[in-house]
């Protein structure tokens, strides 16, 4: 008897009826009915279960079809657009550099026409996988359609990094790709749009697409930036980098000298070596326009070496000629100091130019010595042991504290131009300058004031017992021959 029926009989009629023979046949009849119903119920349950599995699977498939490219399995255009919008929304809260790249395969039509769509399809799948391997997990690669791919680069440390990623991808396609027994050489034209505040997702795509056409015009296998203001900057920094490499090789740098004057005598006692770049087409370029990028890219190490050698060479000549010059000041960048070979390089140059080390002075900024104290201390100490003097450049703009200064192996302080600028009419600047000079003297340090442009400034500095000054009031930085002429005048 069906267990449900048993339970019902017990409940309604009482347990005694279950064993009553008069009711047995009747119960059996109903029991069959119960069994029948039960079977139906089970069948129905199973059917429902199967159904929901099928629905899920079908949904997944639909979802995939809607958001992923059926050939390559990459994100498709629709999902990419959604993701781009989402990223742009997030940018308002979490500011970061992003860039959109538009890839168009060069000569894909030829592959399709000559080898057939089958090979063409396999090639696209392979390419998708190869690009995917060279991007980071925060980036999104999508197939835009046909032979076009789009790439969203997120979380770029600096916008210049997109050139590195592109070049890395291009490198992957340097050699032919094997597809079903064929060897195919693949290259792309790539357009890059670096995100700028206010751009919409569709503008980003449109700009990258426009840049891609520019890349095609430049010749295949190349990339181009959408040249908005930021784009122009990236482009020029990329160009700048190549130009700098060439400049180093061709020794395009020249060194100018700005006189350092002893206030008590009015005589030139030193020179600061200041580099300029004599660009073959663009003419003279100021250090502020190429030193920062040279520091970033590490070119400053080679440029600094060329400047040091030239400065020591010229100084040796002026010392020999007896102009009474005591100091040749050369600016140092932190990249140079950090270099292991730095000390050896300095020694080599002193030997080569036969300049006595006591004539050489290195200028370092406060920030270098403060930030890199542990690293640079040893190097600065060694330089000092060699007999070279050290000065703190742009003093007052960093965070030096008096106690720190005492610990540093330095001989001289150069008060930054910003304090000198208003010294004739700002009581505060006079007070600060006075304090810096008094403090330096108590520490046994010499003081030089930078950027002196007027007689009134010089007068105050004299009253404050500042030892030396530098500035347009006496002379701008000038080429070596003009500097020598100034020396001759005072002999
Ligand atoms: P800096 O070391 O503070 O050099 C002083 C700068 O102030 C020089 O600019 C100089 O021409 C300018 N100057 C001097 N007197 C006056 C003045 O009276 N008025 C005004 N308005 N400016 C004055 P410059 O030559 O353009 O150099 C700029 C910066 O580039 C330098 O600042 C230095 O930080 C860097 N630099 C120059 N040459 C080298 C180098 O060989 N190596 C490294 N690492 N940096 C260098
Ligand atoms: Ca300097
Ligand atoms: Ca300075």
Those residues whose C-beta lies under 8 Å from the C-beta of residue 457, and which sit 6 or more positions away, are 420, 423, 424, 449, 471, 473
C-alpha to C-alpha distances, 202 to 5, 82, 89, 130, 206, nearest whole angstrom: 69, 11, 14, 26, 6
Residue 302 near ligand 1, beta carbon < 6 Å: no
Nearest-CA residue for ligand 1 atom 46 is 331
Closest CA to 391 of 254, 272, 262, 263: 272
Tell me which DSSP letter residue 277 carries.
E
Using the atom order of ligand 1, give the atom closest to the CA of residue 274: 38
Residue 304 near ligand 1, beta carbon < 6 Å: yes
Using the atom order of ligand 1, give the atom closest to the CA of residue 450: 15
Residue 307 near ligand 1, beta carbon < 6 Å: yes
Pocket perturbation via mutation, ligand 1, pick of 274, 297, 349 by most ligand atoms within 8 A of CB = 274
Give the per-residue pLDDT at 21.
Answer: 66
CATH superfamily ID and name for 77-226: Reverse transcriptase/Diguanylate cyclase domain (3.30.70.270)
Give the per-residue pLDDT at 29.
Answer: 59
Using the atom order of ligand 1, give the atom closest to the CA of residue 307: 41
Tokens of 162: 């997109």
Residue 274 near ligand 1, beta carbon < 6 Å: yes
User: CA-CA distance, 204 to 207, in Å (whole number)?
Assistant: 5
Give the per-residue pLDDT at 403.
Answer: 58
Nearest-CA residue for ligand 1 atom 23 is 451
Give the per-residue pLDDT at 198.
Answer: 84
What is the per-residue pLDDT across 80-104, written as a single tens digit (0 to 9) for each?
998 899 899 888 878 889 999 999 9
Enter the pTM of the model.
Answer: 0.61
CA–centroid distance, residue 468 to ligand 1 (Å)? 17
Beta bridge partners of 225: 192
Give the per-residue pLDDT at 28.
Answer: 65
Q: Cβ atoms within 10 A of the Cβ of 360, count?
A: 25
The list of the chain residues with pLDDT below 70 reads: 4-5, 8-9, 11-13, 20-34, 37, 44-55, 58-65, 228-235, 371, 398-404
How does DSSP assign 50-79, residue by residue?
HHHHHHHHHHHHHHHHHHB-TTT-SB-HHH
Pocket perturbation via mutation, ligand 1, pick of 291, 314, 335 by most ligand atoms within 8 A of CB = 291
Coil, helix or strand for 257?
A: strand
**Where are the domains positioned within the chain?**
3-66, 77-226, 240-490
CA–centroid distance, residue 414 to ligand 3 (Å)? 7
Give the per-residue pLDDT at 110.
Answer: 85
What is the per-residue pLDDT across 158-209, written as a single tens digit (0 to 9) for each?
877 888 899 999 999 988 899 998 988 889 999 999 898 888 999 999 999 9
Those residues whose C-beta lies under 8 Å from the C-beta of residue 482, and which sit 6 or more positions away, are none
Rg, the chain, Cα only: 39
Residue 396 near ligand 1, beta carbon < 6 Å: no
Give the per-residue pLDDT at 107.
Answer: 83
Residue 431 near ligand 1, beta carbon < 6 Å: no
Residue 166 near ligand 1, beta carbon < 6 Å: no
Give the ligand whose atoms come closest to the C-alpha of residue 332: 1
Give the per-residue pLDDT at 30.
Answer: 64
User: CA-CA distance, 110 to 123, in Å (whole number)?
Assistant: 12
Give the ligand whose atoms come closest to the C-alpha of residue 286: 1
Give the per-residue pLDDT at 64.
Answer: 62
Contact 310, 349 (CB under 8 A): no
**Ligand 2 ion: Cβ-proximal residues, 5 Å cutoff:** 331, 363, 393
Using the atom order of ligand 1, give the atom closest to the CA of residue 333: 44
User: CA-CA distance, 362 to 360, in Å (whole number)?
Assistant: 7
Give the CATH number of domain 240-490; options: 3.40.50.300, 3.10.580.10, 3.20.20.450, 3.65.10.10.
Answer: 3.20.20.450
First to last CA, the chain: 131
Using the atom order of ligand 1, give the atom closest to the CA of residue 256: 25
CA–centroid distance, residue 255 to ligand 2 (Å)? 13
Give the per-residue pLDDT at 486.
Answer: 97
Residue 35 near ligand 1, beta carbon < 6 Å: no
CA–centroid distance, residue 248 to ligand 1 (Å)? 20
Pocket perturbation via mutation, ligand 1, pick of 331, 413, 421, 483 by most ligand atoms within 8 A of CB = 331
CA–centroid distance, residue 207 to ligand 3 (Å)? 42
CA–centroid distance, residue 274 to ligand 1 (Å)? 6
Nearest-CA residue for ligand 1 atom 20 is 451
CA–centroid distance, residue 418 to ligand 2 (Å)? 14
């Amino acid at each position: 008897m069906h267990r449900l029926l048993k339970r019902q009989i017990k409940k309604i009629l009482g347990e005694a009826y279950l064993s009553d023979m008069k009711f047995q046949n009747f119960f059996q009849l109903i029991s069959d009915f119960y069994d029948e119903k039960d079977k139906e119920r089970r069948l129905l349950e199973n059917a429902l279960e199967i159904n929901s599995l099928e629905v899920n699977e079908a949904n997944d498939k639909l979802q995939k079809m809607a958001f992923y490219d059926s050939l390559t399995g990459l994100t498709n255009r629709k999902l990419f657009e959604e993701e781009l919008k989402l990223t742009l929304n997030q940018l308002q809260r979490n500011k970061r550099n992003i860039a959109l790249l538009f890839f168009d395969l060069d000569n894909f039509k030829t592959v399709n026409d000559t080898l057939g769509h089958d090979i063409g399809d396999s090639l696209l799948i392979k390419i998708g996988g190869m690009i995917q391997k060279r991007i980071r997990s925060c980036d999104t690669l999508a197939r835009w359609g046909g032979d076009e791919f789009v790439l969203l680069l997120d979380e770029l440390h600096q916008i210049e990094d997109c050139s590195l990623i592109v070049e890395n991808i291009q490198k992957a396609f340097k050699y032919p790709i094997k597809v079903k027994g064929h060897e195919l050489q693949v290259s792309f034209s790539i357009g890059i749009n670096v995100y700028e505040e206010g751009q919409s997702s569709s503008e980003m795509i449109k700009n990258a697409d426009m840049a891609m056409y520019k890349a095609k015009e430049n010749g295949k296998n190349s990339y181009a930036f959408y040249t908005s203001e930021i784009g122009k900057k990236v482009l020029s920094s990329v160009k700048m980098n190549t130009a700098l490499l060439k400049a180093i090789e061709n020794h395009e740098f020249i060194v100018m000298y700005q006189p350092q004057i002893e206030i008590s005598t009015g005589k030139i006692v030193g020179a600061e070596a200041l580099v300029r770049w004599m660009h073959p087409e663009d003419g003279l370029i100021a250090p502020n326009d190429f030193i920062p990028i040279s520091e970033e890219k590490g070119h400053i190490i080679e440029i600094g070496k060329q400047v040091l050698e030239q400065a020591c060479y010229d100084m040796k000549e002026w010392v020999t000629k007896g102009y009474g010059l005591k100091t040749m000041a050369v600016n140092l960048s932190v990249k140079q100091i950090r270099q292991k070979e730095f000390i050896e390089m300095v020694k080599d140059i002193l030997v080569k130019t036969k300049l006595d080390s006591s004539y050489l002075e290195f200028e370092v900024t406060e920030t270098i010595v403060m930030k890199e104290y542990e690293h640079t201390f040893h190097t600065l100490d060694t330089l000092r042991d060699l007999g070279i003097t050290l000065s703190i450049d742009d003093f007052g703009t960093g965070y030096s504290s008096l106690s720190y200064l005492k610990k540093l192996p330095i001989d001289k302080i150069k008060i930054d131009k910003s304090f000198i600028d208003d010294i004739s009419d700002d009581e505060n600047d006079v007070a600060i300058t006075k304090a810096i000079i008094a403090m330096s003297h108590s520490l046994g340090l010499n003081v030089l004031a930078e950027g002196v442009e007027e007689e009134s400034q010089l007068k105050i500095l004299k009253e404050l017992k500042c030892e030396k000054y530098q500035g347009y009031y006496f002379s701008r930085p000038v080429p070596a021959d003009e500097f020598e002429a100034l020396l001759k005048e005072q002999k």
